[in-house]
Amino acid sequence: MHKCKKCQSTSYVKAGFVEKEQRYKCKECGCQFVPSRDKGMGCSKRKLVLCLYTNGLSFRAIAKIIGIHHSAVCRFIKKYATENYEKPEPCEDAIIELELDEMWHYIKDKKTNYGFGRLSAETQSNL
């Protein structure tokens, strides 16, 4: 007998087919599941994804190597980062540097097609 993958209930009904496999719907929580499919990545795949990402590979390159969709890789890395790391707060004497080439081009109607935009450096207290 199958169990719901969300609430572990054994009360379910048949709910069609997905790629020639029987799908079920849980009567308790309404979750639809296919018992023969595992949800998510295994532990070894997670470790490999993190290793490849920290070595500089893109989400799409990792997805091709592992054999999963690139959005799944992106979701996993974002979830892992939010659960395990805090976003640092900028200190008071932080310097922000901006280069406004495109904005300068469209706002001031730049006459030349060469050169650099304006470089602006501000401290946190000036903002």
Q: Look at residue 4 in the predicted model and tell me its pLDDT.
A: 83
Residue 127 scores a pLDDT above 60: no
pLDDT tier, 98 (very low <50, low <70, confident <90, very high otherwise):
low
CA distances (Å), 28 to each of 24, 39, 70, in order? 12, 19, 32
Residue 48 scores a pLDDT above 90: yes
Domain ranges of the chain: 1-38, 43-84, 95-126
CB 63 within 8 A of CB 41: no
Residue 39 scores a pLDDT above 80: no
Question: HEC profile for 30-56?
Answer: CCEECCCCCCCCCHHHHHHHHHHHHCC
Tell me the mean pLDDT in the region 32-59. Answer: 86
Q: Look at residue 88 in the predicted model and tell me its pLDDT.
A: 78
Q: Does domain 43-84 have CATH number 1.10.238?
A: no
Query: Quick one: angle between helices 59-66 and 70-84, nearest 10?
Result: 110
Q: What is the reported pTM?
A: 0.48
